[in-house]
Amino acid sequence: MSDKIFEGQHAVVTGGSRGIGAAIAETLARHGAMVTIMGRSIATLDTRAREMSAASGGQVAGCAVDLGDPASIDHAFDNLSGDFPAPSILVNNAGLALSAPFSRTDLDFWNKILGVDLTGAFLCIRKVLPAMTKAGHGRIVNISSTAGLKGYPYVSAYCAAKHGLIGLTRSLALETAHKGVTVNSVCPGYTDTDIVRDTIANIVNKTGRSAEDALAELVKHNPQSRLIQPAEIAEAVVWLCRPESASVTGQSIAVAGGEVM
Ligand code: NAP
């Protein structure tokens, strides 16, 4: 099987500037895709795009967007690089993982998380789906979470958004089943990125426990007793995007060491 399986295809990866999104973007580029990475800082994106192009030998471009702002999403997708064709792969990866007890989850907090994690993904799909269905080919991968498959305390807004993303995945997969477009979710467990580093700092601040204790508290959810690596999530995404995965749609695949099954 050719290593450059996505040659000629354009993949958009939201939140591609770091963490899981950066791993996904670089892996897609290594497999031949032209990749647009999205995030809020164009300076960061341009630097990361240059680094990824060099590391992968592919073409990676940055595109600034605030996924909490519908007008910004319109503007970003209407101004994608003219060197790339219409996207045939969309990875809705960007996400905010803020925590708060329900008693302190006010409407602003709720809307902020739902706006980026769920409505942002919905709006990005709206921008790329017409061209995918017209071409008769497309891959949409929504990065949900184990928090889309089960509950955790103190993250009700995040859990609601991630469960919602799975509902969107399932419904849209049925609508696009005859159009050559697959729609799936990947659900990471605790993964070694800034989100987990911030969560550990938060636990240390709020409880006075050590960072080692806080990390142990997080990895105890994973039967393999470890953090997931971003590259492991990237490989699951790449597999879903392969031509051979055309029958896999509407699925929510946990990459979480057996935490949910
Ligand atoms: P991360 O390191 O915090 O990166 C988040 C990415 O999202 C960054 O590229 C960030 O870019 C972008 N982003 C955040 N808000 C944005 C906004 N309003 N507009 C545009 N881009 C925005 O996160 P991660 O750990 O890699 O997580 C990636 C995805 O996996 C998220 O959806 C997360 O919920 C999910 N996930 C993560 C874990 C985990 O343990 N790490 C577990 C399960 C699921 P800028 O800040 O530059 O804008």
Q: How far apart are CA 71 and CA 178, in angstroms?
A: 31
* Mean pLDDT across 12-25: 98
- 93 and 139, same domain (yes or no): yes
Q: Which CATH number belongs to the domain containing residue 15 in this structure?
A: 3.40.50.720
Nearest to 195 by CA among 18, 2, 12, 5: 18
- 158 and 177, same domain (yes or no): yes
- 87 and 210, same domain (yes or no): no
116 lines ligand 1 (CB under 6 A): yes
- 173 and 203, same domain (yes or no): no
Q: For this structure, is 154 an active site residue?
A: no
- 160 and 198, same domain (yes or no): no
Q: What are the backbone dihedrals phi and psi of residue 100, each rounded to the nearest 5 degrees, phi first?
A: -165, 145
Q: How far apart are CA 133 and CA 230, in angstroms?
A: 30
- 115 and 100, same domain (yes or no): yes
- 113 and 183, same domain (yes or no): yes
- 122 and 219, same domain (yes or no): no
Give the model's pLDDT for residue 3: 85
- 62 and 160, same domain (yes or no): yes
Query: Ligand 1 centre and the CA of 235: distance in Å?
Result: 17
The length of the chain is 261
Answer yes or no: is 103 within a domain. yes
Which domain covers residue 205, as residue numbers?
194-227
Answer yes or no: is 180 within a domain. yes
- 220 and 237, same domain (yes or no): no
- 42 and 145, same domain (yes or no): yes
Answer yes or no: is 156 within a domain. yes
Give the model's pLDDT for residue 93: 98
H-helix or E-strand spanning residue 134: helix 120-135
Please write the tens of the pLDDT for every residue from 185-242: 999 999 999 989 998 998 999 899 999 999 999 999 999 999 999 999 999 999 999 9
Please write the tens of the pLDDT for every residue from 61-108: 999 999 999 999 999 999 999 999 999 999 999 999 999 999 999 999
Answer yes or no: is 34 within a domain. yes
36 lines ligand 1 (CB under 6 A): no
62 lines ligand 1 (CB under 6 A): no
Provide the angle, in degrees to the nearest 10, between the axes of the packed helices 230-241 and 19-30. 50
Across the chain, mean pLDDT equals 97
Q: How far apart are CA 84 and CA 94, in angstroms?
A: 21
Give the model's pLDDT for residue 1: 42
Q: How far apart are CA 85 and CA 139, in angstroms?
A: 15
Q: What is the CA radius of gyration of the chain?
A: 18
CB of 29 closer than 8 Å to CB of 48: no
Give the model's pLDDT for residue 25: 98
Residues 6+ apart with CB under 8 A from 45: 16, 17, 37, 38, 39, 62, 63, 64
Q: How far apart are CA 226 and CA 222, in angstroms?
A: 6
Of all residues in the chain, the percent with pLDDT exceeding 70 is 99
Give the model's pLDDT for residue 2: 47
Query: Ligand 1 centre and the CA of 190: distance in Å?
Result: 13
- 70 and 199, same domain (yes or no): no
> Concatenated DSSP letters for 84-120?
S-S-SEEEE-------B-GGG--HHHHHHHHIIIIIH
Strands (E) located in the chain: 10-14, 34-39, 60-64, 89-92, 138-143, 181-188, 252-255
Answer yes or no: is 4 within a domain. no
* Ligand 1 atom nearest to 191, measured from its CA: 40
236 lines ligand 1 (CB under 6 A): no
Against a cut of 0.85, is the pTM above it? Answer: yes
Answer yes or no: is 101 within a domain. yes
Locate 84 and state its tokens: 């790339």
Give nearest CA residue, ligand 1 atom 27: 20
Answer yes or no: is 154 within a domain. yes
Helix (H, G, I), strand (E, B) or coil at 65: coil
* Ligand 1 atom nearest to 65, measured from its CA: 20
87 lines ligand 1 (CB under 6 A): no
Pocket test for ligand 1, best of 26, 75, 193, 197 (most atoms within 8 A of CB): 193
| Weakest-pLDDT range from 110-114, 144-148, 195-199, 248-252 | 195-199
Q: How many domains does the chain have?
A: 2
Answer yes or no: is 257 within a domain. no
